[in-house]
Chains A and B, each alone.
Chain A
């Protein structure tokens, strides 16, 4: 039985406490947004080329003062990378939050259901076999392959769960089957690959922001702009789902349709993210956990903060990947877990409540 040191006795007292908590929730989301802005600024001003904060600020506010070198470094290299970290982090955080919600499983993340292995397999098809799933996409064929195969995997998952019943159990079991299938197929391709192709493939899988361009940032933003409003509009229904299917159904939530629609959204978010930057698994798992520990699972706070936490982690990672060894930019996939895990473990240890059981 939970004990509250000062139990609010009147109805107004209860409301006051809730208001205070809501206020704190808004403040925390604002604080996270501010922190994110700070990391983005740091991300833009750090790098192998030594440019001062004020110089960078001037070049961003007034691009005409930049020398060609500065323009390339800031506008073509650093800004797309910094913003890509933010949008991809937000996509993975939001996708993880909703994956955990619809599967009622705190260990779920966007890749639980084999979406990232599918993407890796797609990329491997391109790198090893030189095969383009969609002809005529030119130099983007690795990315397009990863995206298409990942979406095909989620379509298959869709079809299976329609046949078997849209339950978390069915989704997870079919998802695990897909995960192993694509891993096996990937191993086949790796076995037959040349050393060069293998290196290329592993580099792709490690995940890197270096491939960021303004177009990719734009595409990610469009996907976010399509999927997030849908998730937000289903806030109450998704919150209700956390109290169990029966409860949600009694409130008028069509649980199967909700699960499938949200799965579609999650698939789109993670397929786009993975095909652009490679498999970065940790963000989608931990972002939502951090949000849950801080604001709970009322979706109106949980979803925005999950996205912000994901963006923060990836933005921080982007800085760390440059800072560890000056002059070398490590693939972010390697760094995410290294800097995220100590933080995550400290959060787990400091929390008394365990909602992921």
Chain B
């Protein structure tokens, strides 16, 4: 099963955000990084794929299914979208909110199985010690890790993460992206992560999509995309790529 977008158009009132955004089929088990400068339409593209916004033109296909034909609830069960921020003044504990994500609005009762799954998820994510903390007391980074845990506890075909690492320190950036990558691969699901850090994108993604002003400028393997001249032009910087000590790509950016 692959995920494909063709010629997506979307505008807020008269301000066009997506203009013919399209990408080649994304393969299951692979992690794709969606990169692009601020306001290039990354979040909007995610919302259109998830079905939270309706495009004025274009389709999103998951396998043979046109996602537009599914009811929203069904669609959101197959496409798990993690928004960038959440409001956190509620008197809910971390355990409560991850349980809420697991129950996914169905079934009032919480079973032992549910509790074990949430316990495992929190433990695995390294936030077990926060389990009984109120979300209003979390730091930005902790809240982001809870958000990722909420997304990963759900079983879906497609996972969309809107900047899951923007508030995290180095250690946790690597940790969260490794976990996302491993989960996508284990579940043979399709994963897209919006990232600002090109080095992280190069390191963790199998595939890159470069978005600029609502159009996909380049897509393909990280080495291929990062070596294209468009990338510097898109971000308005000079970009040089070198190879790091572990045969990884290292992106150097200089103000132009």
* Docked pose: A327 CA to B246 CA in angstroms: 88
Give the size range of A's interface with the partner. Answer: 35 or more
* Docked pose: A1 CA to B129 CA in angstroms: 11
* Smallest Cβ-Cβ distance to B43: which chain A residue: A246
Residues of chain B contacted by A339 (CB below 8 angstroms): none
Q: CB of B91 within 8 A of chain A?
A: yes
B-contacting 9-mer, from A5-13, A201-209, A310-318 = A5-13
Q: CB of A138 within 8 A of chain B?
A: no
* Docked pose: A295 CA to B58 CA in angstroms: 47
- The A1-41 residues at the B interface (CB cut-off 8 A) are 1-2, 4, 7-15, 17-19, 21-22
A10 vs chain B, min Cβ distance (A): 7
A295 vs chain B, min Cβ distance (A): 9
A17 B132 Cβ-Cβ under 8 A: yes
- Choose one: B76, B95, B142; the contact of A14 (CB below 8 Å): B95
A304 vs chain B, min Cβ distance (A): 12
* Smallest Cβ-Cβ distance to B106: which chain A residue: A236
Interface of B toward A, CB cutoff 8 Å:
50, 52, 72-73, 76-77, 80-83, 85-93, 95-97, 100-101, 103-106, 108, 110, 115-116, 118-120, 122-124, 128-139, 142
B88 A243 Cβ-Cβ under 8 A: yes
Interface of A toward B, CB cutoff 8 Å:
1-2, 4, 7-15, 17-19, 21-22, 104, 232-233, 235-237, 239-240, 242-244, 246-247, 249-254, 292-293, 296-298, 300, 353, 355, 357
Which 7 A/B pairs are nearest by Cβ-Cβ distance?
Answer: A244-B87, A7-B129, A242-B90, A2-B133, A11-B119, A11-B123, A15-B119
Residues of chain A contacted by B128 (CB below 8 angstroms): 7-11, 13-14
B132 A15 Cβ-Cβ under 8 A: no
A250 B50 Cβ-Cβ under 8 A: yes
A-B contact pairs, 10 of them (CB 8 A): A1-B139, A7-B128, A14-B128, A14-B131, A18-B95, A21-B132, A104-B87, A233-B108, A237-B105, A251-B105
B72 A252 Cβ-Cβ under 8 A: yes
* Docked pose: A13 CA to B138 CA in angstroms: 21
B130 A2 Cβ-Cβ under 8 A: yes
- Choose one: B72, B81, B91, B138; the contact of A296 (CB below 8 Å): B91
